[in-house]
Structure 1
Amino acid sequence: MADGSAIEWTDATWNPVTGCTRITAGCDNCYALRFSERFRGVPGHPFENGFDLTLRPERISQPLSWRRSRMIFVNSMSDLFHKQVPRQFIDQVFDTMESANWHVFQVLTKRSSLMRDYLAERYSRSGAPKHIWFGVSVEEAQAKSRIDHLRAAPAGVRFLSIEPLIGSVGTIDLAGIHWVIVGGESGPGARPMAAEWVRDIRRQCGEQNVAFFFKQWGGFRPKSNGRSLDGREWNEMPKLVAA
């Protein structure tokens, strides 16, 4: 767990699972894979296994020891709904999030149908707690089906991470969505992001009354091109924030 994060839209990260597998074009230049594989084979290093999916049971209770309220990005180095993560382990992660209700947890996945089905079962009688936010990655128009899966989930706060934005997403139905994050790809081989793609998303957020957060333009280095869009930074947050 990292108290403090370079990710502009969160305060801390918590990784009870690390490692993943690439499933879409948005994964092609995965920063987490690139970082993890640097340490493969280094004895005793947390990423000695590189980006192989690894459960970290010793980290399950970490947020409970953090008394000051934080916004916590869950599994910045993995995907909680990867098919190799056992259901019992996911249950333990959720047990911790529910207990540590002074934090806000941000759960992001590309495996949207699996998240939808899990939430539908776990919260069949009531919606998920509002201090646990749920999001899906939407890197291009072909990924928009994930939005429908998210909308069908019994979540209190729903968000989209449109990062890395590698193509126009076209028209987006944002009904039931509370927050949209947009960002360009960074690192070696970063694919360029067109300004008109970003402006089109911002326009649609404004028309549909959804908070818009512009993270970065991307490039070889994450901060190399800044995060100003049309002369200002866009740091809007969801209105449905847990008390």
Structure 2
Amino acid sequence: MAKSSIEWTELTWNPTTGCSKNSAGCKFCYAEVMSKRLQAMRVDKYKDGFKKVRTHDDALATPYSWKKSKVVFVNSMSDLFHVDVPLEFIKKVFKVMNENPQHVFQVLTKRADVLLQYHQELKWTHNIWMGVSVEDEQVTDRIDLLRQTGARVKFLSCEPLIGPLPNLNLDGIDWVIVGGESGHKPRPMDADWVLDIQEQCDRAGVAFFFKQWGGKNKKKAGRELNGRTYDEMPEMELQRSV
């Protein structure tokens, strides 16, 4: 568990680590870069590098220790629905989330096909927010697959946004996050792409969160759109642990 600088969450929790590139949005993967740093620092969890998907049973106990309600990004350093993560382990992760209704768990995947394949095997309690990455029009099919799952809250992460998304079907979608790519060689994001998505969300009554413009200096670029910040989120239905 680590406090997160990601604007739309509070903590990150990584019961799995490692991944493989799946689509164009993965080109400059943050988790890959960070994994290499942690491996060089001899952090045991990352000793096998980024390309080796590992599960960590010892991490499953962590959410039970949090004293106050948290908003948690699950697997910032991996993808819970990677084909190398066994269904039985995914069920263990879901059991932890089911048993901690006082926390919101945000799960994000690029493997919506695996998600749909497994979704009926999983218990979708109110506090599990399920999202898919949608970086350009080539992967909008992920939205249709997400829509078919039993998740109570469904969201899209359009980050890094590397192309326009003019015809999003937002039926059944509760939240959209948009952000530009950052790093040494970021691909540009057109302001019109962002404005169009914001307007689509507004018309559909979907919460809109603008994370960043990105670029080589993302702090300088900031995160204002239309002269304001957009920090909208779905309503959080939290319960005390029992």
Please give the TM-score of this superposition, normalised by the length of structure 2.
0.94
**Match among 203, 216, 221 for residue 220 of structure 1:** 216
The residue type equivalent to 1:156 in the other structure is R
| 1:128-184 Cα shifts (integer Å, max 9, x gaps) | 211111000000011100000010001110000000000011210100000000000
- In structure 2, distance between residues paired with 1:214 and 1:39: 29
Task: State the Cα distance separating 1:42 from its structure 2 match.
Answer: 4.7
| 1:17-58 Cα shifts (integer Å, max 9, x gaps) | 111000100000001101112343554543222212121111
The residue type equivalent to 2:120 in the other structure is A
- In structure 1, distance between residues paired with 2:141 and 2:184: 29
For these two proteins, the number of residue pairs brought into alignment is 238
- In structure 2, distance between residues paired with 1:104 and 1:71: 5
Residues 121 and 89 (structure 1), Cα distance of their counterparts in 2 relative to 1, 3 Å cut = closer
Q: Contact 2:94/2:122 (CA < 8 Å) preserved in 1?
A: no
- In structure 2, distance between residues paired with 1:73 and 1:221: 24
Unpaired runs of 5+ in structure 2? Answer: none
Identity %: 50
The residue type equivalent to 1:142 in the other structure is Q
- Would you say 1:6 and 2:5 are equivalent positions? yes
Aligned to 1:145: 141
DSSP-derived class of the 1:148 partner? helix
DSSP-derived class of the 2:220 partner? coil
- In structure 1, distance between residues paired with 2:26 and 2:43: 27
- In structure 2, distance between residues paired with 1:171 and 1:230: 21
Aligned to 1:90: 90
For residues 50-61 of structure 1, what are the structure 2 equivalents within 5 Å? 50-51=49-50, 52-61=52-61
DSSP-derived class of the 1:46 partner? helix
Q: Contact 2:176/2:201 (CA < 8 Å) preserved in 1?
A: yes
Aligned to 2:164: 168
Task: State the Cα distance separating 1:87 from its structure 2 match.
Answer: 1.2
- In structure 1, distance between residues paired with 2:64 and 2:172: 30
Residues 46 and 200 (structure 1), Cα distance of their counterparts in 2 relative to 1, 3 Å cut = same
- In structure 2, distance between residues paired with 1:49 and 1:134: 28
- In structure 1, distance between residues paired with 2:202 and 2:40: 48
Q: Contact 2:16/2:55 (CA < 8 Å) preserved in 1?
A: yes
- Would you say 1:114 and 2:114 are equivalent positions? yes
Task: State the Cα distance separating 1:67 from its structure 2 match.
Answer: 1.9
Residues 120 and 44 (structure 1), Cα distance of their counterparts in 2 relative to 1, 3 Å cut = closer
DSSP-derived class of the 2:81 partner? coil
Q: Contact 1:41/1:50 (CA < 8 Å) preserved in 2?
A: no
